């Protein structure tokens, strides 16, 4: 009886997947026995299913991600891969979707961040509330988008730099910079909370800003914890390093950018 395993065949030195329960390496997620029999792989370390999410609907995975479950983060960051056995056209489309979804999510988050910044700026000078599309058509809104992108890039730089130092001075598992970038982009999805806030007319609420920042912080800590398997306190320090760099950029660079881009 022929068997087919659920793993990619490229020649990487590291295993293809990880167990979403214990975080240990795994060579496969499932195995086919013939045409109609599929067996889910169990982890040889913890004995649990390596990745239960391969049978779940994406909405369930999204909800578990919002709930900051480490299993969902491991599935998205490590096990959401495209098999090279698929037809070439399907492979290209799925690879593009897999690679670009993080960048599209990041751009959408930056647009939301820009809207929050610009709505606060407008509220100081405007009589009433403007429509969201009104700001989207203004140059200043895109200037705020650029500023928000710079600040988010500084945050990622601070976290990644701190993680690189941690990997040098300790026995922390080595992770690629591209994976760290994807993890931080994923954790920034909390900024999408501004969308329902815009619908409800609460985009200028300070409570919204604090809740969004708190969710992004906890999500970033969870992402770093999933990647490096360190104590929560250590992961908090790593993420705070990113916020320190971001605050420095906001204090010394952002005013100059606002003066240059918003002065017409």
The angle formed by the CA atoms of residues 40, 45 and 50, to the nearest 5 degrees, is 25
* Higher pLDDT among residues 196 and 93, named by residue: 196
**Which of 43-57, 162-176, 231-245, 249-263 bottoms out in mean pLDDT, i.e. has the lowest?**
249-263
Rounded distance between C-alpha atoms, residue 53 and residue 60, angstroms: 9
The DSSP 8-state label assigned to residue 183 in this structure reads H
> Mean per-residue pLDDT for 171-181?
85
Rounded distance between C-alpha atoms, residue 118 and residue 132, angstroms: 10
pTM more than 0.95: no
- Tokens 């650029």 locate to 146
* Higher pLDDT among residues 141 and 8, named by residue: 141
Closest CA to 72 of 93, 87, 52, 42: 52
Q: Does position 136 have pLDDT exceeding 80, yes or no?
A: no
Predicted local distance difference test score (pLDDT) of residue 96: 35
* Higher pLDDT among residues 76 and 105, named by residue: 76
> Mean per-residue pLDDT for 131-150?
65
> What is the band of 170 on the pLDDT scale with cuts at 50, 70, 90?
confident
Across the chain, mean pLDDT equals 75
C-beta separation of 13 from 3 below 8 A = no
Closest CA to 240 of 216, 206, 259: 216
Predicted local distance difference test score (pLDDT) of residue 187: 83
pLDDT tens across 11-63, in order?
Answer: 344 567 899 999 888 888 888 777 777 788 899 999 899 999 988 888 888 88
Predicted local distance difference test score (pLDDT) of residue 224: 94
Residue 1 structure tokens: 């009886």
pLDDT tens across 113-132, in order?
Answer: 766 766 666 665 555 445 55
CA atoms within 13 A on the CB side of 59: 0
- Euclidean distance between the first and the last CA atom of the chain, given in angstroms as a whole number: 73
Q: Is 101 buried (19+), middle (13-18) or exposed (0-12) by CB count in 10 A?
A: middle
Under DSSP, is residue 85 helix (H, G, I), strand (E, B) or coil? Answer: coil
> What is the band of 186 on the pLDDT scale with cuts at 50, 70, 90?
confident
């Amino acid at each position: 009886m022929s068997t087919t395993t659920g793993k990619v065949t490229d020649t990487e030195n590291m295993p293809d997947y990880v167990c979403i329960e214990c975080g240990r390496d795994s060579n496969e997620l499932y195995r086919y026995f013939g045409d109609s029999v599929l067996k889910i792989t169990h982890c040889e370390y913890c004995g649990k299913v390596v990745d239960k999410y391969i049978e779940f609907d994406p909405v369930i995975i999204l909800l578990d991600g919002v709930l900051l479950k480490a299993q969902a983060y491991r599935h998205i960051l490590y096990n959401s891969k495209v098999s090279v056995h698929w037809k070439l056209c399907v492979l290209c489309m799925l690879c593009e979707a897999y690679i670009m979804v993080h960048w599209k999510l990041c751009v959408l988050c930056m647009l939301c961040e820009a809207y929050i910044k610009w709505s606060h700026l407008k509220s100081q000078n405007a009589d009433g509330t403007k429509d969201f599309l009104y700001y989207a058509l203004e140059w200043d809104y895109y200037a705020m988008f650029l500023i928000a992108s710079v600040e988010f890039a500084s945050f990622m730089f601070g976290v990644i730099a701190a993680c690189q130092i941690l990997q040098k001075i300790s026995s922390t598992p080595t992770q690629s910079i591209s994976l760290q970038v994807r993890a931080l982009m994923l954790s920034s999805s909390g900024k999408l909370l501004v969308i329902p806030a815009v619908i409800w007319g609460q985009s200028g609420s300070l409570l919204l800003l604090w809740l969004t920042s708190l969710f992004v912080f906890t999500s970033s800590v969870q992402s770093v914890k999933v990647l490096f398997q360190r104590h929560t306190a250590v992961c908090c320090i790593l993420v705070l390093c990113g916020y320190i760099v971001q605050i420095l950029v906001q204090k010394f660079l952002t005013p100059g950018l606002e003066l240059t881009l918003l002065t017409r």
